[in-house]
Structure 1
Amino acid sequence: MTNYFPIHLNIEFKTVVIVGGGHVATQKVASLLPAKANIVVVSPTLHDTLMPLVKSGEITWRDKEFEPRDLDDATLIIAATNDTNVNDAVQEAAQHWQLLNRADVQGESDFITPATVRRGPLVLTVSTSGASPALARKIKQDLAEQFDAVYEDYVCFLQQARLMVAANFEKGEQRRAALQALLEPSLLEWTRNGEIDRREAFLQQLLTGETR
Structure 2
Amino acid sequence: MSPLPLTVDLFGKRAVIVGGGRIAERRTKTLLETGVTLTIISPNVTDGIWELYEQALIDWQPKLFEEKDVSAAFIIIAATNDPKVNCAVCEAAGSQALVNVVDNPKLGNVHVPSHFKRGKLSISVSTSGASPLLAKSIKNDLAAKYDERYVAYLDFLYECRQLLQSSSLSQDKQHQILSTLLSEVYMKPEKQTQTLNWLRVEAEK
Deviations, residues 41-71 of structure 1 (Å, cap 9, x unaligned): 1111111011221122222211221111111
Distance 1:171 1:42, change over 3 A: farther
Structure 2: distance between partners of 1:26 and 1:171: 50
**What is the 5 A alignment of 1:42-121?**
42-121=41-120
Find the counterpart in structure 2 of residue 193 from structure 1: none
The question of whether the paired residues in 1 share the 8 Å contact of 2:163 and 2:199 is answered with: no
Pairs within 5 Å for 1:1-212? 3-169=2-168, 172-188=171-187, 190=188, 196-208=189-201
Q: How far has the Cα of 1:182 moved from its partner?
A: 2.3
Q: 1:169/1:185 Cα in 2 relative to 1: closer, same or farther (>3 Å)?
A: farther
Secondary structure of the structure 2 residue equivalent to 1:3: coil
When normalised by structure 2's length, the TM-score is: 0.91
Q: 1:207, CA displacement in angstroms? A: 4.7
Q: Is the 8 A contact 1:79 1:101 kept in 2?
A: yes
Aligned-residue offset at 1:179: 2.0
Q: Is contact 2:87–2:107 with CA below 8 Å preserved after alignment?
A: no
Question: Which residue identity does 1:70 align to in structure 2?
Answer: D
Paired letter, 1:205? W
**Match of 2:33, SS?**
helix
Query: Counterparts of 2:61 and 2:54 in 1: how far apart (Å)?
Result: 13
Shifted more, 110-119 versus 196-205: the winner is 196-205
Q: Which runs of 5+ in 2 are unaligned?
A: none
- Give the SS at the match of 1:168: coil
Kindly indicate whether the alpha-carbon contact (under 8 Å) linking 1:15 and 1:75 is maintained by their aligned counterparts in 2: yes
Distance 1:171 1:61 in 2: 55
* Equivalent-residue separation in structure 2 for 1:47 and 1:178 (angstroms): 50
Deviation string 1:118-160 (CA, Å, 9 cap, x unpaired) is 1111000000111111110100010110011111121122112
What is the Cα deviation at residue 171 of structure 1?
A: 5.5
Cα 1:166–1:23 change in 2 (3 A) is same
- RMSD (CA atoms): 1.6
TM-score by length of 1: 0.89
Q: Which deviations, in whole Å up to 9, do the C-alpha atoms of 1:161-188 show, x marking residues without a partner? A: 2112211235621222232232232111
Q: How many residue pairs align between the two structures?
A: 202
